[in-house]
């Protein structure tokens, strides 16, 4: 099966892609394009999947840059292809032929580009990272390379949608402590639970930071098991592990 790659006109003509799980070499619960080196999947299958992604991005496998994601606001500036995976949750570069890659399985993959300045970025933004400022920090790091946030576009890829993201009272209170206005991202669920709008939070954070354009592809990872991996769905199904989706961008 060929790879399925979701793209956005907003990032054109920059080469980019939100890869679905279709077209990979993994099997079992990882069936498809699992690119998570931290998963319990077979190492050779993950290596082959990542090589297919690199080929689709038209870079060498060694030029598929990534970070060891820890739900932080930390950003790395990538200046050369390297196998190093520093602890961070976002990357920026102005160097051609390096593909910035982010792994997700419900969290937001966010791809950034200022085509005029020739600066790109990629961020992993779960609720903690988004709350702590990873999206704003990515824009700051892009500006340090010469980008103008007013000319920058960001696209949020497949992520968990509000209708299936149930959270408890403690989660709600964490958000209210930072800003009572965050109440807009919560709807009443069942049995005293709330439904949380993660991409809504991401879009607001980006727009408040002064970005020129921000959008979400409107794909829900939880609700489409044929196309997307989902940590929460795997947990609810009592599966032993879960695959990771990859999202990439390159100059």
Q: What is the pLDDT of residue 163?
A: 96
Portion of the chain with pLDDT greater than 70, in percent? 100
Per residue in 5-60, pLDDT (tens digit) is: 999 999 999 999 999 999 999 999 999 999 999 899 999 999 999 999 999 999 99
**Class of the 5-159+214-250 domain?**
alpha beta
Domain coordinates in residue numbering, the chain: 5-159+214-250
Residues 6 or more apart whose Cβ sits within 8 Å of residue 170: none
**pLDDT under 50: residue ranges of the chain:** none
If you count them, how many residues does the chain have?
251
pTM: 0.97
From residue 44, alpha-carbon distances to 60, 81, 83, 189, 246 in Å are 17, 21, 17, 42, 17
Q: What is the pLDDT of residue 84?
A: 83
Distance of CA 104 to the CA centre of its chain: 5
Per residue in 226-241, pLDDT (tens digit) is: 999 999 999 999 999 9
Q: What is the pLDDT of residue 128?
A: 94
Give one DSSP letter per residue of 150-181, joined into a string: GG-EEEE-SB--GGG-EE-HHHHHHHHHH-GG
């Amino acid at each position: 099966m060929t790879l399925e790659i979701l793209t956005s006109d907003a990032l054109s003509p920059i080469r980019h892609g939100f890869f679905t799980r279709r077209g990979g070499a993994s099997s079992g619960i990882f069936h498809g394009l699992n690119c998570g080196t931290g998963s319990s999947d077979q190492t050779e299958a993950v290596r082959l999947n990542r090589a297919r992604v690199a080929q689709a991005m038209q870079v060498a496998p060694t030029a598929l840059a990534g970070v060891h994601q820890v739900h932080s606001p930390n950003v790395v500036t990538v200046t050369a292809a390297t196998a190093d995976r520093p602890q961070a949750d976002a990357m920026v570069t102005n160097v051609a032929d390096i593909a910035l890659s982010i792994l997700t399985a419900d969290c937001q993959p966010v791809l950034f580009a200022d085509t005029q300045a020739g600066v790109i970025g990629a961020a992993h933004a779960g609720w903690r990272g988004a709350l702590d400022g990873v999206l704003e920090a990515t824009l700051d790091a892009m500006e340090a390379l010469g980008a103008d946030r007013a000319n920058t576009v960001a696209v949020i890829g497949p992520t968990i949608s509000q209708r299936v993201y149930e959270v408890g009272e403690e989660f709600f209170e964490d958000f209210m402590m930072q800003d009572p206005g965050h109440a807009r991202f919560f709807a009443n669920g069942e049995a005293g639970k709330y439904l949380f709008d993660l991409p809504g939070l991401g879009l607001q954070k980006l727009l408040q930071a002064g970005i020129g354009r921000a959008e979400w592809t409107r794909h829900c990872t939880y609700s489409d098991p044929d196309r997307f991996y989902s940590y929460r769905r795997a947990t609810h199904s009592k599966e032993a592990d879960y695959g990771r989706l990859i999202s990439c961008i390159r100059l």
